C-alpha cells in the first residue's frame, strides 16, 4: 500500500484529543503526511465538501488516496491494518489480550468521564488552564480515572503493556487534564503521565504553534 497522499484533517487550534491520537499514530509509524486545518469556529466542518466526504462532519479525518475516514479509533485501526508490522512500527500491542485491553481503555477514555472532560477540557492543556475545584460529578469521574490508571500502571513501568502503544499516550492525555490544573494525582500515576508527555511524537503535537483560541 502506498504511503503517498496521506492527509490528516485536524482542528485549527490543535486541541482535539482524537486528532492527538491519530497524529501520534502517523508519526510513530513513520508515515509521511500532510496536515489540513479545519476552522471549527467558522463551522467549516459542516460545509461541503468536507461535510460530505467525512460523513460525520467532525475532525479528525484521515484522507488516503481519495478515501476519507473519520472517527479516531477507526483511523487508528485503519493505519494499523494498512501499514502493518514489521514494515511499519505497531501502535497497538502485539499480544491479543494486551491489544484487547488497549482498545478497551482507548474506547472507554472516549466515551466516559464526561464531567471531567467538560470541566478540564483538552484546550486547557494548551491555553489558560482552568483551576477552579472540580464539581462532585467531575471529582467522581477523576477518582474513577485514577482508580483505573492505578490498576493498569505497574510500579516503575514506563508503558502499560511492555512496549509503547497509543493507549499509553491516550491515558496520559486524560491524566494531564488533572495535572495541568493542579489537581491531586498519585505520584506513581503522575510520573507515568509525565514520561509519556516527553515522547518526541507527543511533543510535536503539544508544542505545535497555536493561534489565539476562539470558543466554538
pLDDT greater at residue 125 or residue 92: 92
pLDDT band at 3 (very low <50, low <70, confident <90, very high): low
Q: Do 8 and 23 meet the contact criterion of CB atoms below 8 Å apart?
A: yes
pLDDT of residue 127: 86
Model confidence, pTM: 0.94
- Taking CB atoms within 8 Å and a gap of at least 24, the contacts of 111-118 are 112/141, 112/144, 113/141, 113/142, 113/144, 113/145, 113/174, 114/141, 115/140, 115/141, 116/141, 116/142, 116/145, 116/174, 116/177, 116/178, 117/177
For the chain, list the domains and their CATH numbers.
6-90 (3.40.30.10), 96-200 (1.20.1050.10)
What nine digits make up the cell of 97? Answer: 489480550
Residue 173 has pLDDT above 80, yes or no: yes
For residues 118-142, give the mean pLDDT.
91
Average pLDDT of the chain to the nearest whole number: 93
Mind listing the pLDDT tens digit for each residue in 50-100?
A: 898 999 989 999 999 999 999 999 999 999 999 999 999 999 999 999 999
pLDDT of residue 2: 59
pLDDT of residue 130: 77
Amino acid at each position: 500500500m502506498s504511503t503517498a497522499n496521506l492527509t490528516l484533517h485536524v482542528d485549527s487550534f490543535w486541541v482535539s484529543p482524537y486528532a492527538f491520537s491519530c497524529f501520534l499514530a502517523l508519526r510513530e509509524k513513520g508515515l509521511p503526511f500532510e496536515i489540513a486545518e479545519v476552522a471549527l469556529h467558522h463551522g467549516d466542518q459542516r460545509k461541503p465538501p468536507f461535510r460530505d466526504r467525512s460523513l460525520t462532519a467532525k475532525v479528525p479525518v484521515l484522507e488516503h488516496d481519495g478515501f476519507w475516514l473519520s472517527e479516531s479509533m477507526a483511523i487508528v485501526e485503519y493505519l494499523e491494518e494498512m501499514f502493518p508490522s514489521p514494515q511499519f512500527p505497531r501502535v497497538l500491542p502485539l499480544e491479543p489480550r494486551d491489544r484487547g485491553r488497549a482498545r478497551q481503555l482507548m474506547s472507554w477514555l472516549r466515551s466516559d468521564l464526561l464531567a471531567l472532560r467538560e470541566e478540564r477540557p483538552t484546550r486547557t492543556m494548551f491555553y489558560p488552564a482552568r483551576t477552579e475545584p472540580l464539581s462532585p460529578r467531575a471529582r467522581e469521574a477523576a477518582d474513577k480515572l485514577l482508580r483505573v490508571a492505578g490498576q493498569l500502571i505497574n510500579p516503575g513501568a514506563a508503558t502499560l503493556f511492555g512496549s509503547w502503544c497509543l493507549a499509553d499516550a491516550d491515558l496520559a492525555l486524560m491524566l494531564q487534564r488533572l495535572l495541568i490544573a493542579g489537581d491531586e494525582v498519585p505520584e506513581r500515576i503522575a510520573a507515568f503521565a509525565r514520561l509519556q508527555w516527553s515522547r518526541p511524537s507527543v511533543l510535536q503535537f503539544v508544542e505545535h504553534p497555536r493561534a489565539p483560541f476562539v470558543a466554538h
